[in-house]
Amino acid sequence: MTLRQRRLIWSWIAGCALLLLATTFHWIGWLLVPFAAWGRATANIGSESEAAGRSRLAEILAEYPLLKVWFGACAITFFLGAVYVIREGINLFDTFGSIAIPFAVLIAPLVFVLERERFEEFGEN
């Protein structure tokens, strides 16, 4: 295992610990807001990067067709969940988890694939 792979593993551990702390102690989430704003402000968001991101997503979906099924199942589940929430008059803003958890479930397989590819790339260098 290379040094870059070890650093990547430690960054995964630190990220998981930070998420665990943010969900356990809700005030830590408020400390993350400035970092999220800084990340959003410094991100390269333009038409070129959007086109590159879409082409990269198309490549990943072509390589892993099971992700298409996953995204479709999540879309149907979100739609049915939205219908249920609207019919029952549920206030989603009372809890953070009811909004964040479904989106985490949606993107988790994609993040896993990207991080695995990154880990393998670090092993080659």
DSSP for residue 43: S
pTM of the predicted model over 0.75 = no
Angle between helices 26-42 and 3-24 in degrees, nearest 10: 130
The amino acid at 66: L
The per-residue pLDDT of the chain, averaged, comes to 83
Alpha carbons 22 and 78: distance in angstroms, whole number: 24
Q: What pLDDT score does 105 carry?
A: 85
The answer to whether 2 and 123 are in contact (CB under 8 A) is: yes
* Residue 125 banded pLDDT, cuts 50, 70, 90: low
